[in-house]
Chains A and B, each alone.
Chain A
Amino acid sequence: MVTAFFFYLFSTLAIASGACVVLAKNPVHAVLYLILTFFNAAGLFVLLNAEFLAMLLIVVYVGAVAVLFLFVVMMLDVDFDELKAGFIKNAPIGALVGGIVLAELVALFAFQGLTFAPGKIAAAAMPSGLSNTEALGHIIYTKYVFFFQTSGMILLVAMIGAIVLTLRHRQNVKRQSISEQNARSPATAMEVIKLPSGGYNVPAAVKPKTEAAE
């Protein structure tokens, strides 16, 4: 009873906020609705007793990915008229793609029927006495260890690629070297000069330039 109530609450909110992501005029609002969608999806995971996945969804998607989305979107200077013009221009393509996906789903359900036998989707029975996290670990690190490690490798390569593409050491930019700064001592950083009263001193580093000017 309570479970059913929360299921309908989470799923209704998830669908409604998912629709709002598309319909929101302001991109920042769209990202905030997206976060609400993630939340409700996490709630559905909790109802399925998959609490580890629910928490991971929030930590990874809401805590990290959506923050980056928000960072990028906030910086944009949004011109709403231009956005609307683009919407009308691209509407036919969007409608075509959406229509194909919808047609495929309708065809699938017409062929398969709306009910699934529970045995078909459910995974192999978990050994009893294991928590959700332990069960997941047992599967990932034994049966699917190759796929798990490979997907990790792909992410690592993608990350290194992004860094290599964006990291450029430009010329003429003053850079900070922390170790050099920390290694400085009065002996290397200061110069003590004897100055006769009434005399003047031109620093050694500037001297050649002034001579050239003369």
Chain B
Amino acid sequence: MSDLLATLTDWVLWIWSFAAVQSVAMLVGLLVLIAFLLLMDRKVWAAVQMRRGPNVVGPFGLLQSFADLLKFAFKEPVIPAGSDKIVFLLAPLATATFALAAWAVIPISENSWGKWVISDMNVGILYLLAISSLGVYGVIMGGWASNSKYPFMGALRSAAQMVSYEVSIGLVIICVLLCVGSLNLTAIVNAQQDGVGTRLGLTNSFLDWHWLTLFPMFIVFFVSALAETNRPPFDLVEAESELVAGFMVEYGSTPYLLYMLGEYVAITTMCALTTILFLGGWLPPIDVAPFNWVPGIFWFIGKSVLVFFMFGMVKAFVPRYRYDQLMRLGWKVFLPLSLVMVVLTASVLHFGGFAP
């Protein structure tokens, strides 16, 4: 019996050693999580407006996202006659693929088994920056291939928006990297075990995390993440009042589903990135008995969902920005602020003797 068990364990471990198997496990987990995050988004929005939200499919409407999936998948895809068919279909595919590819480097936990990440890259954070800057291609290609005015205008707008806010996201990431001294995401989380809290006597606590030391940058990053993923109040991509549905006007059925999927995966990536950079990843908030028994993955998911909840609350109660105000915020407020903070952080680290 124990022989059989040992063989079985070996066999499972051998299967698990393939990156492809890990990727499939990661994607399945991620997509199921996103199905419920989508529902949570709508429920939070409804609760703020004192509505019930989706509550018909399944208990408490829990299966709503799966019903939506079936609805989209069984619709007839309509491709406009004047469109560039290949690029038209390639655009949503690119959006979804690039968004999912980001999860190859995101570390979920670390314990005695090793690092819970598919690819423990040296330049993980740069990879994330590169992949998130590719999201803009799905938008531009879709808007152009539709061969119609409104999608084109929407695509130009949202592409300009995404490119603008990438700049401030990059500078905020540089601030964090200066404090850590490594481009590896696992190293970034582990660097947050030591900081303000440790010096105050609360070893390995939530005061050690970067949100406190880099506080203004935490806010800048959060707002830029909202703009980068085209979430309200920066959802000018699909400002219904003036642009119908932005670059997605001509899309329906499965291609539209892929766009929505890509968007939500990108949002989840940003939530996970906020968790990794500023909220200590899988580290428990306080390193004492009941908290440090909980496996790291639960802390990681819990913190990411908390950030997603903030995304949802912002959507519910902040009115939409005007386009020129959005651009002003990105270029004239966030860019100088984050540039100054990069210089300030570097100076404090160098002259204060904190440099890693």
Task: State how many angstroms separate the Cβ of B119 from the closest Cβ of chain A.
Answer: 11
Q: Contact: B122 with A131, CB < 8 Å?
A: yes
Q: Contacts A28-B144, A133-B122; is A35 near B130 (CB within 8 Å)?
A: no
* Residue among B87, B163, B328 making CB contact with A67, cutoff 8 Å: B163
**Which of B250-307 touch A at CB < 8 Å?**
none
Asked if B144 and A59 sit within 8 Å, CB to CB, the answer is no
How far is A67 from B140 in the complex, measured between Cα atoms in Å?
9
Whether A59 contacts B133 in the complex (CB less than 8 A), given A176-B324, A178-B328, comes out as: yes
Do A52 and B137 form a contact, CB below 8 Å, given A67-B163, A71-B159, A74-B144? no
Q: Does A161 contact B (CB under 8 A)?
A: no
In chain A between 37 and 74, which residues have their CB closer than 8 angstroms to a CB of chain B? 51-52, 55-56, 58-59, 62-64, 67, 70-71, 74
User: Is A32 interfacial (CB 8 A cutoff)?
Assistant: yes
A150 at the interface (CB under 8 A from B): no
A29, B141: Cα distance in complex, Å: 10
Is A62's CB under 8 angstroms from B134's CB? yes
Inter-chain contact A74/B140, CB cutoff 8 Å:
yes
The interface on chain B, measured as residues whose beta carbon lies within 8 A of the other chain's beta carbons, has a size of 24
Mark A residues whose CB is within 8 Å of B: 26, 28-29, 32, 35, 51-52, 55-56, 58-59, 62-64, 67, 70-71, 74, 131-133, 176, 178
Complex Cα–Cα for A58 and B140 (A): 17
When distances are taken between beta carbons in the complex, the residues of chain A under 8 Å from B87 are: 28-29, 32
A-B contacts, 15 of them at CB < 8 A, read A52-B183, A55-B127, A56-B126, A58-B130, A58-B133, A58-B134, A63-B129, A63-B130, A63-B134, A63-B166, A64-B163, A67-B137, A74-B144, A133-B183, A178-B328
What's the minimum C-beta distance from A134 to chain B, rounded to whole angstroms? Answer: 9
Interface bits B95-136 vs A (CB < 8 Å: 1, else 0): 000000000000000000000000001110011011001101
B64 to nearest A CB, angstroms? 35
Give B137-177 as 1s and 0s: 1 = Cβ < 8 Å from A's Cβ atoms. 10011001000000010001001000100100000000000
Closest to A56 in B: B126
Closest CB of chain B to A62's CB: distance in Å?
7
14 other A-B residue contacts (CB within 8 Å) besides A58-B134, A67-B137, A70-B137:
A28-B87, A28-B144, A32-B87, A32-B141, A51-B121, A55-B123, A58-B133, A62-B133, A62-B134, A67-B140, A70-B140, A74-B152, A131-B183, A133-B183
Which chain A positions have C-beta within 8 A of B159?
A: 67, 71
As a 0/1 sequence over residues 53 to 89 of chain B, the CB contacts with chain A under 8 angstroms (1 = contact) are 0000000000000000000000000000000100100
Across-interface contacts of A35 in B (CB, < 8 A): 137
Q: In B218-276, which residues have CB < 8 Å from any A CB?
A: none
Contacts of A55 in B (CB 8 A): 123, 126-127, 129-130
List, in ascending order, chain B residues with CB within 8 A of A71's CB: 140, 156, 159
Chain A residue at minimum C-beta to C-beta distance from B170: A59
Q: Which of A56, A67, A71 has the most CB of B within 10 A?
A: A67
B160 to chain A, nearest CB (A): 8
A32 to B91, CA, bound (A): 11
Selected from A51, A63, A178, the residue in CB contact (under 8 A) with B133 is: A63
Residues of B within 8 A of A56 (CB): 126
Task: Name the contact of A64 in the complex, choosing from B133, B141, B324, B328 (C-beta under 8 A).
Answer: B133
Q: Is the CB of B122 within 8 A of A67?
A: no
Per-residue contact bits, chain B 175-218, to A (CB 8 Å; 1 contact, 0 not): 00000000100000000000000000000000000000000000
Once bound together, how far apart are the Cα atoms of A176 and B332, in whole Å? 14
Closest A residue to B156 by CB, please name it: A71
Q: What's the Cα separation between A53 and B151 when bound, in Å?
A: 35
Collect the chain B residues with CB atoms within 8 Å of residue A52's CB. 122-123, 126, 183
Q: Bound complex: CA of A74 vs CA of B133, how far in Å?
A: 19
Instruction: Pick the 10 closest A-B CB pairs, nearest first.
Output: A63-B133, A55-B126, A58-B130, A59-B130, A131-B122, A51-B123, A74-B144, A55-B130, A55-B123, A52-B123
**Which residues of chain A are near B140, meaning CB under 8 Å?**
67, 70-71, 74
A67 and B130 contacting across the interface, CB-CB below 8 Å? no
- Nearest residue (CB) in B for A28 is B144
Q: With A51-B121, A55-B130, A59-B129 in contact, is A67–B156 under 8 Å at CB? A: no
Q: Which chain B residue lies CB-closest to A131? A: B122
Which residues in A have their C-beta under 8 angstroms from that of B137? 35, 67, 70
Q: Which of chain B's residues have a CB closer than 8 A to the CB of A70?
A: 137, 140, 144
Instruction: Name the distance in Å between B182's Cβ and chain A's nearest Cβ.
Output: 8
Name the residue on B nearest A53 (C-beta). Answer: B123
Residues of B within 8 A of A26 (CB): 84
The chain A residue with its CB closest to the CB of B130 is: A58
CB pair B123 A62 closer than 8 Å = no
CB < 8 Å neighbour of A62 from B121, B122, B130? B130
Query: How distant is B325 from chain A, measured CB to nearest CB, in Å?
Result: 8
